[in-house]
Amino acid sequence: MSYARRPDRSPKPLDKAALERLALRYVERYATTRARLRQYLARKLRERGWEGADAPEIDSLAERMAELRYVDDRAFAENKAASMGRKGLGIRRVEQALRHAGVEAQDVEAATAADENDAAESAIRFAKRRRIGPFSQEASAPETIRKHVAAMMRAGHSPSLAWQVVRLKPGEEHGFVSGQQSRNKTSPIDWEL
């Protein structure tokens, strides 16, 4: 049995109504930002072309979706920050992800305005997930400790907080981490293991 091939059909170029339908379909499927919506629509225009005489109004369409509250950058930022915090990622990592998603600076700042206790709780969650510090099976060698601190810093935690968590012995109580003074030193050579 042979399968007949369809003749190559390139998709129709977009017009204003089709562009609006694409935007609506995108925002109903995904929690997104205005910047991501603009990127999506620009990609669709590159793929399919534009049929209208005047230039497509991607920016105004994204702004209209925001006015209709289909797109809310601040809510996106708050939800993303909360989700990443539950995974144990630090504030720096959250800010980086939000900037990459195209969230404006004031929305990033509002979403990541967490107090020191939230940062410590997030670091403890990361340590538990990766079995670092008080959640490890046995005391770690100095080189392993450095690797654990590096992993925590890559996850967006401050060096002082990472060292506080990693210095905890296996099974040691970790509730005091958030209340301790910052031990941030100027050089990694000065840090105590």
* 73-125 tens-digit pLDDT: 999 999 999 999 999 999 999 999 999 999 999 999 999 886 556 888 999 99
The tens digit of pLDDT for each residue in 45-69 reads: 999 999 988 889 999 999 999 999 9
Query: Is the per-residue pLDDT at 4 higher than 90?
Result: no
Taking the C-alpha atoms of residue 12 and residue 152, their distance in angstroms, rounded to an integer, is 49
Taking the C-alpha atoms of residue 148 and residue 164, their distance in angstroms, rounded to an integer, is 11
In the chain, % of residues over pLDDT 90: 67
Q: Is 8 exposed, middle or buried (0-12, 13-18, 19+ CB in 10 A)?
A: exposed
Q: Is 67 exposed, middle or buried (0-12, 13-18, 19+ CB in 10 A)?
A: exposed
Q: How far lies 46's CA from each of 8, 13, 60, 141, 179, in Å?
A: 18, 10, 18, 54, 53
Mean pLDDT of the chain, nearest integer: 87
C-alpha 1: how far from its chain's center?
50
Q: Which residues, including other chains, have CB under 8 Å from residue 54's CB and lie 6 or more apart?
A: none
106 backbone dihedrals φ, ψ, rounded to 5°:
-65, -30
Taking the C-alpha atoms of residue 131 and residue 178, their distance in angstroms, rounded to an integer, is 19
How confident is residue 1, by pLDDT bands cut at 50, 70 and 90? low
6: left (phi over 0), alpha (psi -120 to 50) or beta: beta
